[in-house]
């Protein structure tokens, strides 16, 4: 999606995708420097025209040790907007994930909890019913079919045990869902799936 802006940390590692409006604010506030601009685009005001940012870099190093916020959007992103039981990845005609076709499943169901906690069969860990490690993305059909059972009880193997995502996981998903612009390619790690994604786009 051209008009999205890749934000780099001061050491030039990618950290986030921004809207161009947010990037313009950061540029005006001198919190970031422009690294590259989209060639055939400009941001116009009444009196001036500015390069349209594609990649910007923070002037001061930011530490991203904070945890990823636990919410529906981030759970879906961690799971690549894919049902963790049947693998279905519902999409809109634009290619964007169809969020309304996805639900959040409690892997060990609430019905099997005691005092709001469950024991995860795969790790033996006791956790809150609703937490990163006990929720997974499911399509409506799988969620209905699984009902108040664990994957084992329902004979519905889960593709990946849920985990607490890193900031990196979530950034990866944000980037993955964009049509990665060529202006970003120099800043995506050599061995990352982003690179693969970008190369595949080129070939197709
Ligand atoms: Zn499913």
Give the start-to-end residue ranges of the domains of the chain: 4-65+167-203, 72-154
Mean predicted confidence (pLDDT) in 182-192? 74
Encoding tokens for residue 56? 């910007």
Q: 65-68: long-range contacts at Cβ-Cβ below 8 A with a sequence spacing of 24 or more?
A: 66/167, 67/164, 68/164, 68/165, 68/166, 68/167, 68/169, 68/170
Q: How far is the CA of 23 from the centre of ligand 1 (A)?
A: 37
User: How many angstroms separate the CA atoms of 4 and 54, rounded?
Assistant: 7
Q: CA distances (Å), 179 to each of 72, 86, 168, in order?
A: 23, 25, 18
| Of the ranges 51-60, 89-98, 164-173, the best mean pLDDT one | 51-60
Top-confidence residue, 11 or 190:
11
Q: Which of the four pLDDT bands, split at 50, 70 and 90, describes residue 191?
A: low
Q: What is the pLDDT of residue 204?
A: 42
Mean predicted confidence (pLDDT) in 187-201? 57
Q: How far is the CA of 191 from the centre of ligand 1 (A)?
A: 30
Q: Which of the four pLDDT bands, split at 50, 70 and 90, describes residue 146?
A: very high
| pTM value > 0.85 | no
User: How many angstroms separate the CA atoms of 195 and 188, rounded?
Assistant: 6
Torsion of CA 66, 67, 72, 74, to 10 degrees: 80
Encoding tokens for residue 91? 């999409």
Largest distance between two CA atoms of the chain = 66
Neighbours of 85 (CB within 10 A): 22
Q: How far is the CA of 79 from the centre of ligand 1 (A)?
A: 12
Q: How far is the CA of 92 from the centre of ligand 1 (A)?
A: 17
pLDDT at 179 over 80: no
Q: What is the CATH number of domain 72-154?
A: 1.10.30
CB 59 within 8 A of CB 189: no
pLDDT at 158 over 70: yes
């Amino acid at each position: 999606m051209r008009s999205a802006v890749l934000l780099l940390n001061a050491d030039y590692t990618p950290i986030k995708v921004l809207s161009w409006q947010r990037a313009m604010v950061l540029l005006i506030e001198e919190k970031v420097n422009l690294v590259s601009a989209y060639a055939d685009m400009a941001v116009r005001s009444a009196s001036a025209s500015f390069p349209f940012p594609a990649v910007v870099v923070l002037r001061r190093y930011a530490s991203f040790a904070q945890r990823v916020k636990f919410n529906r959007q981030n759970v879906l992103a961690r799971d690549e907007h894919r049902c963790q039981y049947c693998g279905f990845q519902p999409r809109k005609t634009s290619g964007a994930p169809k969020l309304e076709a996805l639900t959040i499943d409690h892997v060990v169901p609430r019905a099997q909890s005691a005092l709001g906690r469950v024991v995860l069969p795969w790790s033996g860990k006791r956790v809150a019913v609703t937490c990163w490690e006990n929720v997974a993305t499911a399509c409506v059909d799988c969620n209905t079919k699984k009902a108040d059972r664990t994957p084992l009880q329902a004979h519905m193997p889960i593709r990946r045990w849920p985990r607490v995502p890193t900031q990196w996981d979530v950034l990866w998903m944000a980037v993955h869902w964009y049509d990665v612009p060529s202006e970003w390619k120099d800043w995506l790690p050599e061995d990352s799936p982003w690179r693969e994604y970008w190369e595949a786009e080129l070939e197709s």
